[in-house]
């Protein structure tokens, strides 16, 4: 009845879009009824029955679809693209695959909490062709995660029939390859759905493992209403119309003497009254009035971080050891922190940063992962949804491209969309200078500073690496933490012992001068300091940015107003990098103080070569002295 009303409202222009679940309601209702209300469900865009079975007040659903404040996304996302901790639901994003990995993370949280809970996640048959589906199933199988993977096979991926989507007879057969128990279920029989899912859920609560369920059903409306159903043969429509789950269940109840005509009429009258009453509440609510500060403030979860001062007791250590110690201190501090990554357990990671961690913290919290960056980023998010913390190590920052989608579309947008904090740090060993070639040498921070909702940290010294990493783990927002590989074992510093934090978003003025401002981060800071030794007469401000997002513009502007000349150094290639935005910011905000154009020094506009002479030519250090001289002589 809600669906029928929504179709009317769609035609009247009172909602913007509708993804109908007519014909497959039994799956959403049956699965949700089989789970406990405290167990998470990750539905799709046509699973209205999940939301109604969880007894979400209808006016909140209606205001969500009308883009009003009482909805779940403050008008920022539509349809079922939302989650709610109040009802233990996590909605999908339009990139369907990542939610399967999110379910893995939620289930891992359940496993570690030993709360005997399951998690159910929905996908369509079209989504099973995405790599995320296969990654998530494999992770769940390897880790014995209590996940119920629910495939709603409704015959079409938008307009593409199943015959053009996969070759196997049943999608449930895919479970065999992953060592997962799988079953085919009549998705139009609500009793079969409820009874079988109840049975599997109870088994999984007692003996954690994943199960793959393929529900056979049919979508009788368009993928969304505007697309229609002209591509569906009429005889197929007719065959499935005879299997309508609501009509058949209604007839069954009447045959059993449970439902009478009088009771049916009274139920429908009560439902209609509830729909109309809640719709009126939604209509009566004022339209959202845009507030600039509210929009900007909701991109990140605000927090009041505890500032823990650094100890005066210090130990001289390498950059790599400072990162390791920061992780170790955080693992001791937070017993809900999980570290995940390839080869990080017994092997200690390719850079040996987590060496000895398994012995100290156990394999539950220090987890080797399959090679599936996307699923593990999504699982890290799922851990956060389930009240835990996660650090995921990209073996090399270059490999983040395989996990790019969930970082920029899931992690970055969740707090803005539905107020969900993302307690995830992605560690990014990066950078050239070690002869590792095009696929192990990139410094790709600019991919992420462009994305609102992410924080990006890039330290140059061991003390900062430790303190900033601890702060990143404490921060309730997603953080990309860049660690330059060439600094790992070449840079030493006296580092404070124990647990301490460093302020995020604060640059460090390494030395003070009056002639020129030199700005860098990561390895470029060391290049600046090295090259300056060749100049006896230059008095320079040297700024180590440390954090690229949030960015300490005030420290930069104060320096520019004093020195009147600025040179920005980055290891990334020039076009579209951090230096470009910094140059624009300085020009826009300090133009009247400048005695010369802002200068940028960066790597060549090529991929990174491995041969040492070629790599040396690629990197900007050899061009830095000339650039400083040119700017000083301007």
| Mean pLDDT across 253-265 | 96
Tell me whether strands 366-368 and 337-341 are parallel, antiparallel or unpaired.
Answer: parallel
Structure confidence at residue 56 as a pLDDT band (50, 70, 90) = very high
- Catalytic residue numbers, as ranges: 440
Ramachandran class of 116: left when φ > 0, alpha when ψ lies in -120 to 50, beta otherwise: left
Check residue 226 and give its pLDDT: 76
pLDDT at 223 over 90: no
| 135 pLDDT more than 80 | yes
- Judged against a pLDDT cut of 80, whether residue 222 lies above it is answered with no
What is the rounded average pLDDT of the residues 418-435? 96
| Per-residue pLDDT, 231 | 85
What token pair was written down for 230? 């002209």
Q: What is the CA radius of gyration of the chain?
A: 28
What would the pLDDT profile of 288-324 be if each residue is shown by its tens digit? Answer: 999 999 999 999 999 999 899 999 999 999 999 999 9
Mean pLDDT of 611-632: 95
Residue 162, sorted as left (phi over 0), alpha (psi -120 to 50) or beta, turns out to be alpha
CATH class of 508-632: alpha beta
* Per-domain residue ranges of the chain: 2-219+232-288, 314-496, 508-632
The least confident of 62-66, 426-430, 459-463 is 62-66
Burial of 596 (0-12, 13-18, 19+ CB in 10 A): middle
* Higher per-residue confidence, 422 vs 231: 422
Nearest CA-CA partner of 501 in 330, 259, 315: 330
CATH architecture of 314-496: 3-Layer(aba) Sandwich (3.40)
* pLDDT for the residue 311: 96
Q: What is the mean pLDDT of residues 213-217?
A: 96
Tell me the DSSP string of 322-383.
HHHHHHHHHHHH-TTEEEEETT-STT--TT-TTTTHHHHH-TTTEEE--S-HHHHHHHHHHH
Is pLDDT above 90 for 597? yes
The pLDDT-based confidence of 233 (bands split at 50, 70, 90) is confident
- Tally helices (H) and strands (E) across the chain: 25, 23
- Predicted confidence at residue 571, as pLDDT, reads 97
Distance CA 30, CA 21 (A): 14
Please report the pLDDT score of residue 240 as a whole number. Answer: 85
Task: Return the minimum-mean-pLDDT range out of 111-120, 158-167, 335-344, 349-358.
Answer: 158-167
Give the pLDDT of residue 13. Answer: 86
- Please state, in angstroms and rounded to a whole number, the distance separating the CA atoms of residues 618 and 437: 11
Q: Is the pLDDT of residue 94 over 90?
A: no
Is residue 98 over pLDDT 80?
yes
In this structure, whether the domain defined by 2-219+232-288 belongs to CATH 3.40.50.970 is answered with: yes
Distance CA(316)–CA(492), nearest Å, equals: 7
Share of the chain above pLDDT 90, in %: 88
Percent of the chain at pLDDT above 70? 100
pLDDT at 236: 83
Confidence of residue 158 (pLDDT cuts 50, 70, 90): confident
Q: In terms of DSSP H, where are the helices of 18-150?
A: 25-34, 48-53, 58-65, 98-113, 131-143
Separation between Cα atoms, residue 558 and residue 270, nearest integer Å? 67
């Amino acid at each position: 009845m809600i669906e029928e009303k929504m179709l009317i409202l769609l035609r009247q222009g009172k909602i913007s879009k509708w993804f109908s679940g007519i014909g497959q309601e039994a799956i959403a209702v049956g699965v949700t009824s089989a789970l406990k209300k405290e167990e998470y469900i990750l539905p799709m865009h046509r699973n209205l029955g999940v939301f109604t079975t969880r007894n979400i007040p209808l006016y909140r659903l209606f205001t969500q679809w009308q883009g009003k404040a009482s909805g779940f996304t403050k008008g920022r996302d539509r349809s079922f693209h939302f989650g709610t901790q109040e009802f233990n639901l996590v909605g999908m994003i339009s990139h369907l695959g990542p939610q399967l990995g999110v379910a893995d993370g939620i289930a891992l949280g359940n496993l570690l909490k030993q709360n005997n809970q399951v998690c159910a996640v929905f996908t369509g048959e079209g989504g099973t062709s995405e790599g995320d589906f296969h990654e998530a199933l494999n992770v769940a199988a390897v880790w014995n995660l209590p996940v119920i993977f629910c495939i709603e096979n409704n015959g079409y991926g938008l307009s593409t029939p199943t015959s053009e989507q996969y070759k196997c007879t049943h999608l449930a057969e895919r479970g065999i390859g992953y060592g997962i128990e799988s079953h085919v279920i009549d998705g139009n029989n609500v009793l079969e759905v409820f009874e079988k899912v109840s049975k599997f859920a109870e088994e999984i609560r007692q003996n954690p493992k994943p199960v793959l369920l393929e529900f056979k059903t049919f979508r009788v409306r368009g993928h969304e209403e505007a697309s229609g159903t002209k591509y569906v043969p009429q005889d197929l429509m007719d065959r499935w119309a005879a299997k309508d789950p609501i009509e058949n269940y209604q007839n069954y109840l009447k045959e059993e003497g449970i439902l009478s005509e009088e009771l049916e009429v009274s139920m429908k009258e009560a439902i209609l009254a509830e729909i109309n009453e809640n719709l009126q509440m939604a209509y009566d609510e004022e339209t959202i009035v845009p507030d600039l500060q509210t929009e900007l403030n909701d991109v990140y979860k605000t927090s009041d971080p505890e500032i823990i001062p650094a100890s005066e007791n210090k130990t001289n250590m390498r950059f790599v050891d400072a990162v390791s110690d920061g992780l170790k201190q955080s693992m001791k501090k937070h017993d809900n922190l999980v570290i995940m990554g390839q080869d990080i357990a017994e092997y200690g990671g390719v850079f040996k940063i987590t060496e000895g961690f398994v012995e100290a913290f156990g394999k539950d919290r220090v987890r080797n992962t399959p090679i599936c960056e996307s699923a593990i980023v999504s699982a890290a998010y799922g851990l956060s949804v389930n009240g835990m913390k996660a650090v995921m190590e990209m073996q090399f920052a270059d490999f983040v491209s395989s996990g790019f989608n969930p970082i920029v579309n899931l992690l970055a947008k969740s707090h803005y969309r539905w107020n969900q904090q993302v307690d995830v740090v992605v560690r990014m060993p990066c950078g050239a200078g070690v002869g590792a070639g095009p696929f192990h040498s990139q410094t790709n921070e600019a991919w992420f500073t462009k994305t609102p909702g992410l924080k990006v940290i890039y330290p140059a010294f061991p003390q900062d690496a430790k303190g900033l990493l601890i702060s990143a783990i404490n921060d309730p927002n997603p953080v990309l933490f860049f660690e330059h590989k060439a600094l790992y074992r070449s840079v030493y510093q006296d580092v404070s012992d124990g647990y301490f934090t460093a302020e995020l978003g604060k640059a460090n003025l390494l030395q003070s001068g009056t002639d020129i401002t030199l700005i860098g981060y990561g390895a470029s800071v060391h290049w600046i300091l090295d090259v300056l030794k060749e100049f006896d007469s230059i008095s320079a401000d040297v700024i180590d940015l440390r954090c690229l997002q949030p960015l300490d513009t005030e420290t930069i502007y104060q320096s520019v107003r004093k020195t009147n000349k600025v040179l920005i150094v980055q290891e990334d290639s020039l076009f579209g990098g951090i230096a470009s935005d910094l140059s624009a910011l300085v020009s826009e905000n300090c133009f009247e103080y400048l005695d010369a154009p802002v200068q940028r020094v960066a790597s060549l506009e090529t991929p990174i070569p491995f041969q040492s002479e070629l790599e040396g030519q690629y990197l900007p250090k050899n061009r830095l002295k000339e650039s400083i001289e040119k700017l000083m002589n301007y």
